[in-house]
Chain A
Amino acid sequence: MLLRQLRTGPDGATEYQDTELSAEVLSLGSAADCTIQLLGTGVEAHHAALRSRGSDFSIECQRPATVAVNGRRTRSATVKAGDLLEIGAHRLRVLEAPAGFDLGLEWEPDPQVAPSAYERAFRTELSMTWLSRRGAAWILAAIILLAALLIPYGSLVRQRTGAAVPLLVPSDRMWSAGPLTPAHQLAAGQRCGSCHQQLFVHVRDAACRECHRGIGDHVEPAHLAQTQLGPAQRCAQCHQEHHAPVTGLVVRDNSLCVDCHAKSDVAFGKLKVQPVSGFSQQAHPAFTVSLIKPSDKLDESGQVQWAVRREPITAAREQSNLKFSHQQHLDPSQVTRASDRGALGCSDCHVLDADGEHFVPITMQRSCASCHELTFDPQAPERQLPHGKPRDAILLIQDYFVRNAVLPVAPTSGFHRRRMPEEQQSEAAVCNGPPLSCAMQRARAEIENQFTGRGCVSCHEVKDQHTAELLERFRVLPVRLTRDYFPKVHFSHRLHAVQKGKSGDAACVSCHAVKTSRSSADLFIPNLPKCLECHSERLAVDRVTLQCSSCHSYHPITTYDRLREADAQ
Chain B
Amino acid sequence: MIHQNILRFRNGRYAWWALGLTVLSVIIYATQGGRERPGGGTWQGYALGTLGALLIVWLALLGIRKRSYRSTLGSVQGWTSAHVWLGLALVLIATLHCAGLFGWNVHTLAYALMCLVIVSGIFGVYVYLSMPRQLSANTGGLSRAALFAELFGLDRQGRELARACDPAIGNAVRSSIERTSLGGGVLRQLLAIDRSLFMRTDADADHARASTSVVRNPDQQAVIDYVARRVPQAAKRAEAATLQALMVLLSRRQAVLRRIRRDIQLQGWLQLWLYIHVPLTIALIVALIVHILTTFMYW
Contacts and interface: CB of A to CB of B under 8 A. Distances in A.
Interface stretch (A76-84, A174-182, A355-363, A427-435): A174-182
B39 A21 contact: no
Contact of A131 (B186, B211, B293): B186
Contacts of A129: 184-186, 189
A20 B210 contact: yes
A143 to B, nearest CB: 8
A116 B293 contact: no
Interface in A30-49: 32-35, 37
A133 B298 contact: no
A175 B297 contact: yes
A255 B37 CA distance: 12
A416 interface: no
Nearest to A195: B298
Contacts of A177: 39-41, 101, 103, 105, 107, 295, 298
A118 B101 contact: no
A259 B159 CA distance: 91
A126 interface: yes
Interface residues of A, number: 63
B106 A251 contact: no
Contacts of B155: 115-116, 119
B58 interface: no
Given A19-B171, A20-B210, A119-B151, A175 B179 contact: no
A256 B34 CA distance: 8
Contact of A149 (B33, B264, B290): B290
Nearest to A10: B163
Nearest to A5: B171
A122 to B, nearest CB: 4
A433 B12 CA distance: 124
A32 B181 contact: yes
Given A22-B212, A118-B178, A176 B105 contact: yes
Nearest to B41: A240
B167 A19 contact: yes
A205 to B, nearest CB: 15
B288 to A, nearest CB: 10
B186 A126 contact: yes
Contacts of B214: 33-35
A122 B182 contact: yes
Contact of A178 (B103, B268, B282): B103
Contact of A256 (B35, B167, B171, B280): B35
A144 B283 contact: yes
Contacts of A148: 106, 109, 287, 290, 294
B36 to A, nearest CB: 7
Nearest to B216: A33
Given A129-B186, A246-B101, A32 B268 contact: no
12 contacts: A17-B171, A19-B199, A119-B148, A123-B183, A126-B271, A129-B184, A133-B278, A137-B283, A144-B109, A144-B283, A177-B39, A192-B298
Interface of B: 33-37, 39-41, 101, 103-107, 109, 144, 148, 151-152, 155, 159, 167, 170-171, 177-186, 189, 195-197, 199, 201, 209-214, 260, 264, 267-268, 271-272, 274-275, 278-283, 285-287, 290, 293-299
Identify the 7 closest CB pairs spanning chains A and B, nearest first: A136-B279, A137-B282, A140-B283, A255-B34, A22-B211, A175-B294, A137-B279
Given A22-B212, A118-B177, 14 more contacts: A19-B167, A21-B211, A34-B214, A119-B177, A123-B189, A124-B264, A125-B271, A139-B279, A149-B293, A175-B294, A177-B39, A177-B105, A240-B39, A259-B34
